[in-house]
Structure 1
Amino acid sequence: MSPDAGDAAQRVVLTGDGPLLLEGPVEVELPDGTTARSERPVVALCVCRRSAIHPWCDTSHRRRARRKPPEENA
């Protein structure tokens, strides 16, 4: 994005082990050079690469088994 693209900062929300939330509309450039565009007010971008509708999140990250923290020895 060029420096003169606008004065307002784009808001990005990191959700831990879920998607990356962006205030929309957004246009995403994919590795193959194509672009995906969403006009939604909030867009969830997949960061786990499990989504069937990548780059958009389809909540596939929720099906991943979570590791339990190691038991502490007293």
Structure 2
Amino acid sequence: MEELTKKDLIEEIKLLITSDGSSVDINPNYLEYFTLEELDEIKTDLLLKKKNVISSTKEYVDELYDKLAL
């Protein structure tokens, strides 16, 4: 598997921060302080949070549907 560069990770993080998939501006000077490993960890955390939000939203919608179906 191809290893991502710091720039690639920053771009992915910028997309993961938003809820609608658009990119957000982050001060590049701030991001330069992070190592490649730290950026990878941030990306992993954001992916996990997004997955959890999707899962809880699905459960909520399923509950609403069940209530409306009665």
TM (normalized to structure 1)?
A: 0.25
- Which has more helix, going by share of residues? 2
- Which has more strand, going by share of residues? 1
